Structure 1
């Protein structure tokens, strides 16, 4: 488990602003967040032979509109998008690497 702590978050325009326990602040565009969604629907999952099958994902304008976000334990955020997608769990480590 990561020792990274999230102290605050806010959507500002088309970006997610994140404040971390070490004083670092990051801004990630909503489009980048959605394109990097870590869920199996977006990134694929292994088939019976262990090959990762990545589906074709088609985004619309609503795909990049963030409706809400919820903290998951002390390690991640779950984002809900206007197109109904909400299965991605973005770990704090992933969020830091995207910024």
Structure 2
């Protein structure tokens, strides 16, 4: 019996997949306040209507870009949203500026979009996507 085409997932991946399938309440995926610290370069914070607060660094957000190109690249390399690409090992690594948005734009009432300093701008970060990828300790241990 062949196991070709069968992919075994970790318990963590199974938990995340189950969480992704569960429906979030309207309050859980509706922001009350959104703060983007372009000047300080620290990242983004959202206070949700259900009282929860989520925070992301710009590095995490850039590495979690939900556009089709970035999603496919992450999937092929086995990376999760927010996980950085492996840097090639070279004798003299090239300097790369840290990710920062040059502009931030609301997308309707359901998302936010960034024009990154590396020129990338096709990702639309829905409120649902961001809430599902909250990296706080409470959300990381939630069933």
Q: TM-score, normalising length from structure 2?
A: 0.52
For the pair shown, the structure with the greater C-alpha radius of gyration is 2
Alpha-carbon RMSD across the aligned residues, in angstroms, is: 2.5
| Structure with greater helix percent | 2
**Distance in 2, Cα, partners of 1:92 & 1:68:** 18
Q: Which runs of 5+ in 2 are unaligned?
A: 1-23, 78-84, 88-95, 135-143
- Map 1:82-93; keep pairs closer than 5 Å: 82-93=117-128
- Distance in 2, Cα, partners of 1:91 & 1:19: 15
Runs of 4+ that moved beyond 6 A: none
**Residues 66-99 of structure 1, C-alpha deviation per residue, up to 9 Å, x if partnerless?**
1222121221111111111110001111111222
Gaps of 5+ in 1: 46-51
Instruction: Report the structure, 1 or 2, having the larger strand content.
Output: 1
Aligned to 2:34: 9
Q: How many residues align?
A: 89
CA gap of 1:40–1:8, structure 2 versus 1, over 3 A, is same
